[in-house]
Amino acid sequence: LLPVYQNSGMDDGYVSLEVSPLLANDVDGTLQSARHLWQAVGRPNLMVKIPATAAGVQAFTVLIREGINVNITLLFSLSQVEAVWDGHIVALQARQADGLPLGHVTAVASFFLSRIDNLLDGQLPEALRGKAAIALAKVAYARYLARFHGEEFAELRKLAAHPQCLLWAS
Q: What is the pLDDT of residues 123-145, one digit of tens each?
A: 999 999 989 888 999 999 999 99
Report pLDDT digits (tens) over 78-122: 999 999 999 999 999 999 999 999 988 999 998 888 888 888 999
Task: Find out whether 47 and 70 touch, Cβ atoms under 8 Å.
Answer: yes
Q: Output the pTM of the full model.
A: 0.91
Closest Cα partner for 16 from 51, 57, 56?
A: 51
User: What's the one-letter identity of residue 170?
Assistant: S
Annotated catalytic residues are 49
Chain centroid to Cα 150, Å, comes to: 18
